[in-house]
Each structure stands twice: as structure tokens, then as C-alpha cells.
Amino acid sequence: MSRKDDLLVKPKPDVMVEAVEVHKSFGRNEVLKGINFEVKTGEVACIIGPSGGGKSTFLRCINHLEKIDAGQLSVAGELIGYKLKGEKLHEMKDKEVAAQRRSIGMVFQRFNLFPHMTAAENVMAGPVVVQRRNKNEVRDRAQELLTKVGLGDRGNAYPMQLSGGQQQRVAIARALAMDPELMLFDEPTSALDPELVGDVLDVMRQLAQSGMTMVVVTHEIGFAREVGDTLGFIADGVVADFGPPKELLANPNSERLKAFLAKVL
């Protein structure tokens, strides 16, 4: 569809993330060239692919950090960033988009913690400021989440006093504090020293086991094979291959994925 003139398909209520022919350009550079992708509730979907292929851009489109140029994206059966009026899609106001994002947690490559706040205060910030929840109630929840990510004794530490892996785990706890339906991870271990990667992946494994729906852009092929329910290979702006991780990694459907795996495995 051209500039969202018509609704392509009705969002499926039993699917957490549904992308239909999603396009995104930056100037003349078309980064996403018709992404089709589906993640069922409770699934862990991993996305791999070469740098510049569109993985992170697609992830940012899911919570409308980037506005799509064509196609449609829905989360939990609700269109993201747009609403249907009659037979036309209209862009939502910023306040409406912000309300949608509250159900979507996102963890970035860089931890993006507030340096002037302790770990606990970072975790509390969203519920207190955005959701206007009681500070004492939120403080207890923050301690619970920090314990969950293995940092129960570091609540009073500032980001500069924590390792990269610890900061990333605080970032995960901060995202979980908003009680999201969906968690997005944008290469969460790529900025970490190799010896710190395992602790972050362990937290993500625990999240997956708890039933959290997750979309993970990652270079960690072993994690994708072990934890992922589905695997998407995004290259040159399209989903070039898709399927169960163990099957797809053992027997790629596309020559493009075979070539990619030959370089990274």
C-alpha cells in the first residue's frame, strides 16, 4: 500500500507481533523492502542477519520508534502508531503512541541508564514517572526485579560502579518494571566483553522460560538455536529465510543464509 492508504489485513488477536509488507526508507535508502513477520504470544523469535540488512530498523518499527512508510505492524491485535477511521489509516498522536509503548519493553545495545540514578532508581523511573505509581510499592518491585536479574545486592550502585553486563541486566529489569506484554532486544550483548555475555543471556533464558514473548536481534547463534521458537534471517531489507531455529540452522532454505552461516559459524 502507498503511504498507508488502506488496511492490508485485520490484525490477528492470537498473534503478538504481526508485520505485513513493512517498508521503511531513510531518504533514498530503502532499508526495509517488504518485511513479513509473525510472532505468536509466548514465543521467542530470534532475528539474525548481516549488518545493514534492516534487523534493528525493523525492531524499532515494532514500537514506532521508527515510523513505517508502507505496510502495517500490529502488537497484540492492535495497530501500532496508526488507527483505522472508516477505511483509512491515520497516524496517532504522540501521547497515544507513548501509551502503546508502555506494553512493549525494549533493551538496546547500549544500556542507556540514567548515570545520576542508582540501579534501583533506574528501575523505578518508568513506573513512578510514566505510570504515576506509588514510590514505596515500586521500590519493592524494583528490588524484586533486580534480584530476578541477579543484582539484588547492587540496588544502591550507580551505573559507573557496575560492569557492562550488570548495566545491561539493570536495563532488562527497568524494561520489565513496566510490566510489558512484549520484550524487544536489539543485540543486547554486542557491546559487552565476551566474559560478560553469559550472565545477560542467562537472564534472557529465564525470561523465555517464564513465557514472556520476545523478539531478539542477536549475533549469538547458539542462543537462537537453544532458546528461539522461530528464527528469521533478515538480509537486504527482507526476511530471506524463516523457520524453527534448529532446522533452519542445520538446513538453510536459502543460499543467502548458507553463505551467512559459513562466515559466522
Assigned domain for 150 exists: yes
Long-range contacts of 1-5 (CB under 8 A, 24+ apart): 1/70, 1/71, 1/72, 2/70, 3/69, 3/70, 4/68, 4/70, 4/72, 4/82, 4/89, 5/88, 5/89
What pLDDT score was predicted for residue 20? 94
Identify the H or E element spanning 127.
none
What pLDDT score was predicted for residue 1? 38
Q: Where are the alpha helices (DSSP H) in 25-106?
A: 55-62, 94-101
Q: Rounded distance, CA 250 to CA 245, Å?
A: 8
Contacts of 229 (CB under 8 A, 6+ apart): 40, 43, 44, 45, 244, 245
Q: Rounded distance, CA 203 to CA 147, Å?
A: 11
Contacts of 196 (CB under 8 A, 6+ apart): 163, 164, 165, 168, 189
Q: Give the domain range for residue 143.
A: 114-179
Which of these, 227, 178, 179, 243, lies nearest to 44 by C-alpha position? Answer: 227
Q: What is the pLDDT of residues 90-102, one digit of tens each?
A: 888 888 888 888 8
Assigned domain for 164 exists: yes
Q: Which residue has the cell 548458507?
A: 258
Assigned domain for 201 exists: no
Assigned domain for 200 exists: no
Assigned domain for 152 exists: yes
Which of these, 76, 85, 81, lies nearest to 96 by C-alpha position? Answer: 81
Number of compact structural domains in the chain: 1
Amino acid at 11: P
What pLDDT score was predicted for residue 8? 60
Q: At what angle do helices 164-176 and 194-209 cross, to 10 degrees?
A: 20
Assigned domain for 231 exists: no
Q: Rounded distance, CA 109 to CA 119, Å?
A: 18
What pLDDT score was predicted for residue 2? 40
Assigned domain for 121 exists: yes
Q: Rounded distance, CA 249 to CA 74, Å?
A: 28
Assigned domain for 172 exists: yes
Write down the pTM of the prediction. 0.93
Report residues of the chain scoring pLDDT below 50. Answer: 1-5
Whether 54 contacts 36, CB under 8 Å: no
